[in-house]
Amino acid sequence: MREITTETASGRAVTVRFERAEFAARLARTRAALKRRGLAALLVYGQETHLYLAGFDTGGFVFYQAGIITADDRPLVLLTRRPDLAQARDTSLYDDIRLWFDAEDQKPAEDLRAILAELGLKGERIGIELATYGLTGFNHQITRDALDGFCTLVDASDIVRAQRVAKSPAEIEYVRASAKLADDAIEAMVAAARPGVIDSAITAAGVSAMLAGGGDMPAGGPLVNSGRRAVYGRGIGGPRRLDAQDQVMLELGASYCRYNVCIEHTVAIGTPRPRQVEMFGVARDTLAAMTEAARPGEPIGRIAEVFLARLDKAGFARQRFAACGYSLGATFRPTWMDVPPMIYAGNRMPLQPGMTLFPHVMLGDMEAGVAAGVGWTILITDTAAEVLSRLPLELHRR
């Protein structure tokens, strides 16, 4: 991990994970987009945006937290709670940090309005990030109430999101580190899967491998579904003990400096059922074809077209999902998915170098209670898709 000491606009020394020039370029692109849309500022609520523009890494976004990025060249302003002050001062490029304090009559949205007034933004059109876990419905409402008649709020959720889809060379270094952690976790989880163990022990093996390798706590999951649960598309609480003949679906997102890489594998305990062997073979071959279709300049939807055509032809139209993957990047809980874009038929967004995507094939036969799934993270290069996993596509047998 790179730890770079640099300075904020006012000269305060901070430690961040990218060169100051990279942050400056991101900020310049953001301000140019604001000006094109006639917006005087952007209210940042997405923790991913805080990280991307200012290097600010925290879980404080579950409370009321807002960044203010003006379209002109002024210092970055952050409104946050007192527990985030030290992190914001030491590890972010936010120059002007304002605090609100927990109290019965606390009104952070009104504090925000006062800051905007100081900045001369009354009566202006101001962008706001709405498509984010960092702005709950309640906090959105109190913000609208506080700013009613003060300014005009405009949804600008896509301004920074659009920049983040394609990764810079420095970001790709973190992605590659995360890919190694993902492989290490799968190897540890497969080794831990055997009759008689509880499936939560398999989860523990994967998380331990990622943390021991220098990774973060995962942004979600991992998903470790065994037995009948293997056909589920989401994780479920409560451990289950593996039988002598069983199955385990493994899906996880490894995280390094918040950059996520996903991977999906299937484990058969004992002798796999013929139906599962058949499903796995189709899933494996389909994923390979999807990866081949992921070429720069092609629409993202082309990957899904291959997914649909091959699975439907093989007779698995009822066992598949409609979408087959999504974009990845630097995200925080509750999810490793960094969307949009999703991989679905008809998505016309062109694939471009620097994109990291998770194409996967999950087949669940609900009637038979049999599942098979495979998935890996790919990096779009100048010519093709590079697979960011060293592991072979095989049905693991334990």
The ranges assigned to domains in the chain are 4-164, 169-397
Structure tokens at 294: 């992921």
Contact assessment for residue 190 and residue 266, using Cβ atoms and an 8 Å cutoff? no
Question: In the CATH hierarchy, which top-level class contains the domain 4-164?
Answer: alpha beta
Tens digits of pLDDT across the chain (398 residues): 788 998 888 889 999 999 999 999 999 999 999 999 999 999 999 999 999 999 999 998 999 999 999 999 999 999 999 999 999 999 999 999 999 998 888 899 999 999 999 999 999 999 999 999 999 999 999 999 999 999 999 999 999 999 999 999 999 999 999 999 999 999 999 999 999 999 999 999 999 999 999 999 999 989 999 999 999 988 888 999 999 999 999 999 999 999 999 999 999 999 999 999 999 999 999 999 999 999 999 999 999 999 999 999 999 998 898 889 999 999 999 999 999 999 999 999 999 999 999 999 999 999 888 999 999 999 999 999 999 999 999 999 99
**DSSP line for 221-272:** --EEEEGGGGG-SS--SS--B--SSEEEEEEEEEEETTEEEEEEEEEEESSP
Cβ atoms of 129 and 143 closer than 8 Å: no
The whole-model pTM stands at 0.95
Indicate the CATH number for domain 169-397.
3.90.230.10
